[in-house]
Structure 1
């Protein structure tokens, strides 16, 4: 059996207020081409199908087209919910979706009830663990201590292992969590109220393969436990990360091979650093003119109208930061100490030097200040 492991589609997410729906559709089409070319049997999505618990109508339409494209290849689809999803909304009418070959697992009460699909070697049981927030599920299981994600996932895996032992055959688990040994980017939403709640790798002992979601970059925790990452770049901190999924192969004995397959990047994200004039005039930056751009300007003085001028060359420049190459140490003096026994001209010059990180007023500005002060005295 061939399985394509994906996660964190985040349909409906914006990139600095710009829609990414069209970009996701391009990736979804490429995903279907890969599934067809590689003769994939099952596509799994390990949580965060949507970016919001209340997706827009257009987001639902995009998901429908993506699933239709995957099913047109003949592959089945197994989906579970993440912390961004509303389990209720995502799982609505999942019974009828399963008839069409799209299996949506969102109910914690049924996490030990697998979707069983077969190949020439027999059954493969797909267990989906929807995102389990301990504070929201612990009252359903009063006999179990469920205060952390480790405890919640340990409880879920215990039920899955017991069911798997009774059924026999091979198994794949989908889960959405922070697992030990991975590093988050700037966009994964914290899944606890007081900091990261990590799940040890040993919690996932047992299945032939564990398809994890929540981290937006690919990561291999062991040969059989992996993150696929998100299909798009959702922040500049992710700009250097490849995008794609894991092609997982099972034979009669279980996991036999995992291969990375790349997805296209409709618009790459890149951070450019330099003075405004450098960024506007450097011919070597031409390949990035169609990228999402974050500009870090190193000019001593923040340029006026910098974003508009940058967008004349980099149409998709969406973020600007002023980070002067030279910074001024103002010392520990208070404002009162800095202005004591100083003339008005010196006070104004000192203020300009302070706000410009050490660069004082020009001769023209000094003359203008002098004339203004004289006019105020008359």
Structure 2
């Protein structure tokens, strides 16, 4: 059978105030096009469909249309909730999903047997899947128990609970002639986080060893880490990565989906198919003169400026580079203010403000005079 594995769509993502709604429509449109070309029997979406637990109606529309379009390619579709998703809210969409022919599992609920899904391909190959949504440490390890444990003990307890849950759910994998699959939203020890500015969401308290997966699984489709990669384990384990770089920390990731060919008696073969329709993210550095030579009209930019800090510098950069979403001063260009707090005692606001401007290159013409006028006006009213 053939599987298309994708994850971490993060629909609704806003980058430095810039909506990426149109990008997500293009990116997920290309994922659907890839499914039409590859004709998978099964599409797996391994969590983080949304960027936030409270998605907008527009974001919900994008996700539900994408899932429906994937189902309309002829593939069976299974999607699980990730740590950014609202699991119960996804489960509330299950009546829609079932009507659309999509299997949706948002959260681990009281009946774990609901997390085991089975099906067959048009060619008659039988498959079964453990579909494990994101399981928070607070849910897996009771709050009272967490307070009694050290951080290391809580982490180990979480990993033990996940291992027992997967072992229980994968008991049917002993049946011969059936393709055994598992999808989960997890951090695996030793995997590459893949950059990103939100590393806190992959804290090691949620990490588990690859030994939690049963050796008789034919393929494990993971979500959570945004860099496509293979995980060393006793069975084929892979992160598909995100089809869109969600922030500048991921600008070097190659966005893709994984296409997997697998059968009950042959090892899984995996191909990464690039997704190219998102706007590229780039970090550029230099003086204003150097930045004036940057040619990146179609990229969103993070700019590191090698200039002395001054009023109006950000505006000068954005005039040169209108797509600069973030402008930072190179730390090497920041003045050394060591000892400044000790110099405040007994000094007037005018003197302190004058030092502030001197440490930043003197400021614009007239700034000192304007401060004096404002200070005199405030002083007269007090």
TM-score by length of structure 1 reads: 0.81
Unaligned runs of 5+ in 2: 146-152, 377-382
What value does the CA root-mean-square deviation take over the aligned residues? 3.3
1-side partners of 2:133 and 2:30: how far apart?
Answer: 26
Query: Counterparts of 1:61-140 in structure 2 under 5 Å?
Result: 61-95=61-95, 97-108=97-108, 109-110=112-113, 112-118=115-121, 120=123, 122-137=125-140
Note the alpha carbon deviations across 1:329-363, whole angstroms, 9 max, x for none.
556587349999xxxx999986655x23xx6799x
Which of 167, 184, 191 does residue 182 from structure 1 map onto?
191
1:219 counterpart residue number: 229
Shift of 1:187: 2.3
Query: Counterparts of 1:1-378 in structure 2 under 5 Å?
Result: 1-95=1-95, 97-108=97-108, 109-110=112-113, 112-118=115-121, 120=123, 122-137=125-140, 148-166=157-175, 169-184=178-193, 185-190=196-201, 196-206=205-215, 207-222=217-232, 224-279=236-291, 281-282=292-293, 285-286=294-295, 288-302=296-310, 304-323=311-330, 325-326=332-333, 328-329=335-336, 335-336=342-343, 352-353=357-358, 355-356=359-360
Unaligned runs of 5+ in 1: none
2-side partners of 1:63 and 1:334: how far apart?
Answer: 52
TM-score by length of structure 2 reads: 0.80
Contact 1:12 1:55 in 2 (8 A): yes
Contact 1:13 1:19 in 2 (8 A): yes
Range that drifts further, 126-135 or 234-243 = 126-135
Contact 1:112 1:163 in 2 (8 A): no
- Secondary structure, in 3 states, of the residue corresponding to 2:316? helix
Shift of 1:115: 3.3
Aligned residues: 351
Shift of 1:309: 3.0
1-side partners of 2:31 and 2:340: how far apart?
Answer: 61
Larger Rg: 1
Note the alpha carbon deviations across 1:202-226, whole angstroms, 9 max, x for none.
1113311111111111121137111
